[in-house]
Structure 1
Amino acid sequence: MDRASGMPRRRGRIATRTATWSAVTALALSLAGLAAVPASAADVNNVKNAGFESGLTGWTCTANSGTTVSSPVHGGSSALKAAPAGQDDARCTQTVAVEPGSTYTLSAWVRGGYSFLGVTGTGTTDVSAWTPDTTAWTQLSTTFTTGASTTSVTVYTHGWYGQSAYYADDISVYGPDGGGGGDPAPTVPAAPAGLTVSGTTSSSASLSWNAVTGATGYNVYQNGTKVTAVTGASATITGLAASTSYSFQVTATNAAGESAKSATVTATTTSGGGGGGGGALPRHAVTGYWQNFNNGATVQKISDVPSAYDIIAVAFADATSTPGAVGFTLDSAGLGGYTADQFKADIKAKQAAGKKVIISIGGQNGTVSVNDSASAANFANSVYALMQTYGFDGVDIDLENGLNATYMTQALRALSAKAGSSLIITMAPQTLDMQSTSSAYFQTALNVKDILTVVNTQYYNSGSMLGCDGKVYGQGSVDFLTALACIQLEGGLSPSQVGLGLPASTSGAGSGYVSPTVVDNALDCLTAGTNCGSFKPSRTYPDLRGAMAWSTNWDASSGNAWSNAVGAHVHALP
C-alpha cells in the first residue's frame, strides 16, 4: 500500500512497459496448462554447462549482466547471477542442438527477482515460463516440439527491467540427443532429510523438509499412501480428522525416477473447533486500511471509520531489530494527539459493533523478512504480542518486497496455534503476485487456506495483466477485475477468500482507480453473472467475500463516496 499521496509503487511500472508482452506471453502459456513431460530413459540434457560449473562458457548475457556465484546454488558449486538494469533485462542465452520433429522438456531452477525461462527458434510454437520474486529455489518447466527442419533452438533466461538480480541453475533441455553434446542425464535423487511437522490444525498438517539436489519434485505419503505431489520443500495436507495421529513420509523425484522414502514423522491434529478464520464476519465483507500516518489524506481516529467497513486493517507494523519480529507505535503526533488509550478503546468499540480490527504488516516500504524457522517464530510471537497489547483480531500480510512461502506459512500457523480459531488472517498481494499459483504469495495463501480469511489483491498500480482466459486486460475496467480475480477463484482459493482491492479515490494510488460503479459491476459479474464486460466467467461465485479499499482516509477525503456505494452493494449481495 502507498504511504504517500499518488505515489506509485516501485513495481507499478513493471507491467506498463512495452516489454510486458514477454511476461504476459509467458503466463498465457502457463495458464494454458503446459506441463512438463518426464524424459524417457534415452533422453539427454542437450544444454552445455547447464549448472554453470564452467563459468559462463556456452552462455551469452546482454550488457555484461551475467556472472557466476558460489552462493546461492541449487546444485553443484556454481550458479548464474544476472542483474537487470533500467533498459536491460539481463538476458542470457545458449544455442542448443536438437533433433527435428521431437518433443523436449525445458526446465531451470531460479530464485531472486522476476525470473523468466524460454526458448525461441523451435520451428513450431516458442514457449516460456516465469515466476515473480522468490527467496527459495523454484523450478520453471515447460515443453516444446521442434519443426521438421529445426536442428537448433535458443534457450534464454532473463529478469525484469530495473528489478533485483535473479539466479538460475541446472538448466535443461531433455529429449532426443541433438548431436551437440550436453550434460549427463539425471540420476535418481537421494531421499529427503529433515522432514518435520511445522504446524497442525483440527483438519490439516503442515510439513517441511530439506531440498534435495537434482530433485524436480516431491511426493508426500500419508500412512503409506501417496496423497500429493509438490515442487517445493513443503506441503500442507488437508481433510484430516480432528484429534487424530497420522504418519508422513516424503520422496524426491526427477526424470530418472523416485527416491527412497524419508524417515517417518507423526502429526497429531488438534481438537475440533479450530480453523476457518472467518469469525463472526458477514458472508460478504468490506476491508479498509486505516493510516497510522498523515500523507495528505483525512486524518482519522479508528472511531471515525464508517460502519461500512467490516475489517479495519491498521497500517502498518514494520520490522524491529530482531529478525522476523514486528513492532507498532501509534503516530500520536501525526494523528492530532490521538492517544494509545483512545486507540485501544476505539478498537474495543468497533469490535462491540461486530467489526474486526487487525494489524497490517509491511506496506510499500515494509522491510519484514521471515526466511527461517527462528524468524518465523519471532514473527508469530511479536504479532501475538501486538494482538494482546492493542486488542487486534488478527494480521494482514502486505509484504510488497517479497516473502518466503515456507517460512511465512510456518509463522502464520504458529500464530494460529497461539490465537485460536477466531484469528483473522488477510493478505494484500500486488496484482503480479497472484498471477500464478507458483508465486510465493499464492503458495502461502494456499498453504494456509484452512485458516485464511480473505486475500484482497491490489488491482491497481499494475498496468495491463493477463486474465484467467489468457487474454490481456487493461486496469481500470470491469474485465480487469473479473478476469484477474478468476485466477484466484480457479487457482484453489475458496470464493469466500477472494476480495477485490481498489483505491478509494484517485489520490489513493498512482493508477488503477475505478468508480464505485465499476467495482459494483465486477462484484455482480462474479457473483451472479450480470453486468459483465467482454469477459464473463464460466461460472459464478456467489460466496465471493467482497472488496477492499486503500484507504479509509482517502475515502474520507472524497466524502466516503467509495464506502457509501461499494459498502452498501457488498452487503446487499445475496
Structure 2
Amino acid sequence: MRTRTRTHPRPGSRARVPRPRGRALASLAAGLAAVALLAGGAHATDTGTTTAAALPQHALVGYLHTSFANGSGYTRLADVPDDWDVIQLAFGEPTSTTSGDIRFALCPATECPGVETEAEFKAAVAAKQAAGKKVLLSIGGQNGQVRLTTAAARDTFVSSVGAIIDRYGLDGVDIDFEGHSLSLDKGDTDFRNPTTPVVVHLISALKSLKARYGQDFTLTMAPETFFVQLGHQFYGSGPWGGQDPRAGAYLPVIHALRDDLTLLHVQDYNSGPIMGLDGQYHTMGTADFHIAMTDMLLAGFPVAGDANNVFPALKPSQVAIGLPASTYAGNGHTPPAEVNKALDCLHKGTGCGTYEPHGTWPDMRGLMTWSINWDRFGGWEFAKNFDSYYAR
C-alpha cells in the first residue's frame, strides 16, 4: 500500500496493486437477510471501551513520511496543519520479517534536508497532543513485512513498540501490515477462533499493548480491501485449498480487537474490483466503490458467502474511508466531488447512485489519506475538501 520509495513521484507509489480475483457468484439472499438484522445495530449509541470519543465527531487522518524521503518532499511534524486530527508516523519497521523487533528513526539529514532534531520532534509531538491531536506510530507499510511466527517474536514486538511509544511520547499504534505479513494457515476457517500463529500472536501483542497503556491507547488499522472486504468472497485458502491464503486475513484481527479499536480505515485504493453486498463488483476511484466498501463494514457481511458466518458490523465512530491524496499517491484516486457524493450517501442517504446502503451513519468518523506529504505537494486539496464538507 504505502511505499518508501526514495525516487521521483509516480502514480501508485504507495503499494502493490492486487490482481483482480474472479469467482462464480454465490447465492446471497440468506446472507443479506442476516446482514439486514445486523444493520440496525450500526445505528445504536456507541458503547464499549474504544477511545474514539477523544476524537472529533468527524476526523481527518493522514500519514506523515517521517523516516524516509520521496518525491513528495519532507514535512516536519511541527509544520503539519491543524486540520489533521490523527497523524500516523510512517513507518516503524522490523529488523527482519520474523524478528518482531520494530525500529523507528527520523529520516537522515542526507535524505531529508531540514529534518528536525529528535528534541524538536518530541516537542512537536507534545504540541500536537496539547492541541488535541493524536500522534501514532504506523508499523509496516509496503516494505516493512512483519510476521510474528513465534511467542518470542510477539514479546519482542510488544517490548520494542512500547520502547518507541515511550521514547517519543506517542498515543498508540497503527497496524499497516501489507504484502505477506498476514495470511491464514490451511484449515483456519473461522475468523472468530483463529489458529494461525501470525494472527494469534498479533492479536495477543496488541491486547498486551492496550493493557499496558490503558484506555488512552489509540489503536488504528489500515488494511487493503484484499484483506478485509474480499473476505466476503474468499477466506484464506478455502475449504479445498488453492485460494490466496491472505484473502480476508485481517478479519480475525479486527474482530478480536473490535472493543479496543479506535479506527479502521481500509485503503479503498490500489485494489482490484471487489464484490459488494449487492452481488456486484465495484471498482475503485468512484463514489460507488467507497459506498459499497464502507457499507460492508457498517452493516456486516457473510464471510466466504456463508450466511451462517457473518462478520459483525463495526460502530460508525470506528470507521473512516482511506483514499490517496492525489493521483501521485496511489492508484484509485477519487476526485473531491466523488468523495463528497460518497459522504452524502453514507451520512444522509442522498445521492447514492445505483448502490443502496443498508442504513445511514451520520457518525461515521471521517477520512484517511496517504498522505499528508502528498496532500501538501498537491496544494492541500484533500484537507481543504474535508474541511469544506464538514465546515470546520
Same fold, judged at TM 0.5 (above):
yes
Give the Cα–Cα distance (whole angstroms) in 1 for the partners of residues 227 and 100 of structure 2. 21
Pick closer, same or farther for the CA change 1:10–1:562 going to 2, 3 Å.
closer
Give the Cα–Cα distance (whole angstroms) in 1 for the partners of residues 122 and 206 of structure 2. 24
Tell me which residue corresponds to 1:283. 57
Instruction: Confirm whether residue 516 of structure 1 aligns to residue 292 of structure 2.
Output: no
Tell me which residue corresponds to 1:327. 103
Tell whether the 8 Å contact from 2:14 to 2:329 is kept in structure 1 after alignment.
Answer: no
Residue aligned with 1:450, SS: coil
Give the Cα–Cα distance (whole angstroms) in 1 for the partners of residues 126 and 119 of structure 2. 11
CA shift, 1:320, in A, is 2.2
Q: How does 1:44-55 map to 2 (within 5 A)?
A: none
Instruction: Confirm whether residue 507 of structure 1 aligns to residue 328 of structure 2.
Output: yes
Instruction: Confirm whether residue 449 of structure 1 aligns to residue 243 of structure 2.
Output: no
Residue aligned with 1:449, SS: coil
2:227 to 415, 429, 433: 433
1:359-406 superposed Cα distances (whole Å, 9 cap, x missing partner):
000101112222232222221221111111011100000010232321
Instruction: Confirm whether residue 12 of structure 1 aligns to residue 17 of structure 2.
Output: yes
Task: Give the % identical residues.
Answer: 41
Pick closer, same or farther for the CA change 1:286–1:465 going to 2, 3 Å.
same
1:186-215 superposed Cα distances (whole Å, 9 cap, x missing partner):
xxxxxxxxxxxxxxxxxxxxxxxxxxxxxx
Residue aligned with 2:128, SS: helix
Give the Cα–Cα distance (whole angstroms) in 2 for the partners of residues 276 and 346 of structure 1. 26
1:458-481 superposed Cα distances (whole Å, 9 cap, x missing partner):
111113221122211111111100
Alignment TM-score, normalising by the size of structure 2: 0.78
Give the Cα–Cα distance (whole angstroms) in 2 for the partners of residues 351 and 33 of structure 1. 47
Task: Compare 471-480 and 433-442 and name the one that shifted more.
Answer: 433-442
Q: How does 1:353-372 map to 2 (within 5 A)?
A: 353-372=131-150
Tell whether the 8 Å contact from 1:344 to 1:391 is kept in structure 2 after alignment.
Answer: yes
Q: Which letter maps to 2:320?
A: G
Tell me which residue corresponds to 1:476. 285
Q: How does 1:85-484 map to 2 (within 5 A)?
A: 275-278=49-52, 280-292=54-66, 293-320=68-95, 323-333=99-109, 334-336=111-113, 337-401=115-179, 402-403=181-182, 404-435=198-229, 436=231, 438=235, 439-484=248-293
Give the Cα–Cα distance (whole angstroms) in 1 for the partners of residues 371 and 259 of structure 2. 28
Give the Cα–Cα distance (whole angstroms) in 1 for the partners of residues 390 and 171 of structure 2. 22
Tell me which residue corresponds to 2:307. none
CA shift, 1:3, in A, is 2.6
Tell whether the 8 Å contact from 2:18 to 2:226 is kept in structure 1 after alignment.
Answer: no
2:363 to 543, 552, 555: 543
Pick closer, same or farther for the CA change 1:31–1:566 going to 2, 3 Å.
farther
1:408-430 superposed Cα distances (whole Å, 9 cap, x missing partner):
11010000011110011000001
CA shift, 1:502, in A, is 0.4
1:495 to 298, 311, 316: 316
Give the Cα–Cα distance (whole angstroms) in 1 for the partners of residues 335 and 251 of structure 2. 27
CA shift, 1:339, in A, is 1.2
Instruction: Confirm whether residue 2 of structure 1 aligns to residue 3 of structure 2.
Output: yes
Give the Cα–Cα distance (whole angstroms) in 2 for the partners of residues 555 and 547 of structure 1. 13
Q: Which letter maps to 1:497?
A: Q
1:228-269 superposed Cα distances (whole Å, 9 cap, x missing partner):
xxxxxxxxxxxxxxxxxxxxxxxxxxxxxxxxxxxxxxxxxx
Pick closer, same or farther for the CA change 1:497–1:353 going to 2, 3 Å.
same
Q: Which letter maps to 2:106?
A: L
Structure (1 or 2) with the greater helix fraction: 2
Tell me which residue corresponds to 1:559. 379
Pick closer, same or farther for the CA change 1:345–1:512 going to 2, 3 Å.
same
What's the C-alpha RMSD, in Å, of the aligned pairs?
2.2
Pick closer, same or farther for the CA change 1:359–1:279 going to 2, 3 Å.
farther
Tell whether the 8 Å contact from 1:274 to 1:420 is kept in structure 2 after alignment.
Answer: no
1:86-140 superposed Cα distances (whole Å, 9 cap, x missing partner):
xxxxxxxxxxxxxxxxxxxxxxxxxxxxxxxxxxxxxxxxxxxxxxxxxxxxxxx
Tell whether the 8 Å contact from 1:279 to 1:424 is kept in structure 2 after alignment.
Answer: no
Q: Which letter maps to 1:311?
A: V
Structure (1 or 2) with the greater strand fraction: 1
CA shift, 1:536, in A, is 1.9
Tell whether the 8 Å contact from 2:12 to 2:270 is kept in structure 1 after alignment.
Answer: no
Give the Cα–Cα distance (whole angstroms) in 2 for the partners of residues 384 and 456 of structure 1. 23
CA shift, 1:533, in A, is 2.2
Give the Cα–Cα distance (whole angstroms) in 1 for the partners of residues 157 and 389 of structure 2. 36
Runs of 4+ residues deviating >4 angstroms:
8-11, 30-34
Tell whether the 8 Å contact from 1:274 to 1:421 is kept in structure 2 after alignment.
Answer: no
Q: Which letter maps to 2:255?
A: L
Structure 1, gaps ≥5 residues long: 35-272
Find the structure with the greater CA-based Rg: 1
1:272-301 superposed Cα distances (whole Å, 9 cap, x missing partner):
x99313252112211100002211003200
Give the Cα–Cα distance (whole angstroms) in 2 for the partners of residues 412 and 33 of structure 1. 34
CA shift, 1:30, in A, is 7.6
Tell me which residue corresponds to 1:526. 346
Give the Cα–Cα distance (whole angstroms) in 1 for the partners of residues 83 and 56 of structure 2. 12
Residue aligned with 2:252, SS: helix
Give the Cα–Cα distance (whole angstroms) in 2 for the partners of residues 29 and 11 of structure 1. 28
CA shift, 1:354, in A, is 0.5
Which has the bigger relative contact order, CA under 8 A and spacing at least 6?
A: 2
Give the Cα–Cα distance (whole angstroms) in 2 for the partners of residues 10 and 30 of structure 1. 33
1:7-64 superposed Cα distances (whole Å, 9 cap, x missing partner):
456641402xxxx333xx3xx5285557xxxxxxxxxxxxxxxxxxxxxxxxxxxxxx
Tell whether the 8 Å contact from 1:319 to 1:326 is kept in structure 2 after alignment.
Answer: yes
Structure 2, gaps ≥5 residues long: 32-46, 183-197, 236-247, 301-311
Give the Cα–Cα distance (whole angstroms) in 2 for the partners of residues 486 and 326 of structure 1. 34
Q: Which letter maps to 1:3?
A: R
